[in-house]
């Protein structure tokens, strides 16, 4: 039966979502399924983010009603539109209200950094989304550098190797870094994580990989998954 091991819900900020779902099914073991809702983010205006926030609430309730095992709230600008400092409280209240475990994409990133023991992080970012609201409590982001110029709807055309090339240059320019982060879960990354780890000798993580790792961990799926970096290759 579909979803026999876990059914994971994800609220995707993009009006058109393609890459995350594809990479999710590339990585997860059989019996794990994805339920995805688009938040229709396009221009990042205040009114649009307010509507997307309301859509997040609607989607979360519908996912809970559908009996999903975990709900992952994506879209950092959407979550932060009500005040980033309030997100943890909001998530706890939502989880209690729905009776279903709830987490967020930024929480997944923080958990992944902690798992990797990251302290000095370099980040391949995207030009249209400079910076992500992260706690940086046990690590610091040493440098961010953009890669890609396609609009969000065209993320499928982003070149994974071009992203990797920026990562390699970042690592060369920051020899003290212990972790390379390929930010934004809506561009291709999973195929370049392991080759970069071998070449650079440091942790390499992507946003999509971290969300998938945290989702599986929260659903009690612990076996190693090889081919997509150390984070997934180690037992959860």
d(CA 197, CA 234): 14
pLDDT at 11 > cutoff 90: yes
Domain coordinates of the chain in residue numbers? Answer: 6-104+211-233, 108-209
Question: Do the domains at 6-104+211-233 and 108-209 have one common CATH topology?
Answer: yes
d(CA 98, CA 94): 6
**What whole-number distance in Å separates Cα of residue 131 and Cα of residue 147?**
13
Cα 5 from chain centre? 21
Which tokens sit at 188? 């291709």
108-209 has which fold? Rossmann fold (3.40.50)
Please write the tens of the pLDDT for every residue from 125-146: 876 554 555 667 789 999 999 8
Q: Is the pLDDT assigned to residue 184 strictly greater than 70?
A: yes
Asked if the model's pLDDT at residue 43 lies above 80, the reply is: no
The whole-number average pLDDT for the span 220-235 is 95
pLDDT in tens, 144-182: 998 765 555 555 567 899 999 999 999 999 999 999 999
Please tell me the distance from the alpha carbon of residue 161 to that of residue 191, in angstroms, as a whole number: 9
Q: What is the pLDDT of residue 23?
A: 97
pLDDT tens-digit readout, 49-102: 777 788 888 999 999 999 999 999 987 666 766 666 678 888 999 999 999 999
The alpha helices in the chain, defined as continuous H runs, are: 19-27, 46-65, 76-80, 87-98, 105-116, 160-173, 190-200, 207-218, 230-233
For residues 4 and 149, which has the higher predicted lDDT (pLDDT)?
4
**Is the pLDDT reported for residue 20 higher than 90?**
yes
pLDDT at 148: 64
**Which pLDDT value is given to residue 82?**
64
At 39 the pLDDT is: 81
Lowest mean pLDDT among 47-51, 92-96, 199-203, 229-233: 47-51
What's the fold here for domain 6-104+211-233?
Rossmann fold (3.40.50)
């Amino acid at each position: 039966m579909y979803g026999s091991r876990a059914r994971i819900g994800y609220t995707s900020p993009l009006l058109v979502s393609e890459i995350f779902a594809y990479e999710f099914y590339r990585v997860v073991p059989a019996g794990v399924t994805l339920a995805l809702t688009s938040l229709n983010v396009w221009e990042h205006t205040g009114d649009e983010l307010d509507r997307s926030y309301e859509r997040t609430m609607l989607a979360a309730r519908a996912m809970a009603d559908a009996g999903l095992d975990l709900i992952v709230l994506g879209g950092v600008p959407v979550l932060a539109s009500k005040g980033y400092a309030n997100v943890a409280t909001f998530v706890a209240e939502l989880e209690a209200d729905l009776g279903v475990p709830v987490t967020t994409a930024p929480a997944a990133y923080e958990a992944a950094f902690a798992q990797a023991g990251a302290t000095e992080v370099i980040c391949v970012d995207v030009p249209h989304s400079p910076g992500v609201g992260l706690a940086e409590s046990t690590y610091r982001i040493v440098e961010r550098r953009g890669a890609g110029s396609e609009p969000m709807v065209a993320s499928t055309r982003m070149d994974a190797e071009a992203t990797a090339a920026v990562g390699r240059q970042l690592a060369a320019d920051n020899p003290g870094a212990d972790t390379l982060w390929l930010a934004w879960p809506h561009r291709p990354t999973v195929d370049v994580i392991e080759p970069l780890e071998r070449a650079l000798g440091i942790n390499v993580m992507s946003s999509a990989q971290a969300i998938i790792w945290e989702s599986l961990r929260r659903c009690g799926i612990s076996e190693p998954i090889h081919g997509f970096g150390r984070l997934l290759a180690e037992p959860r």
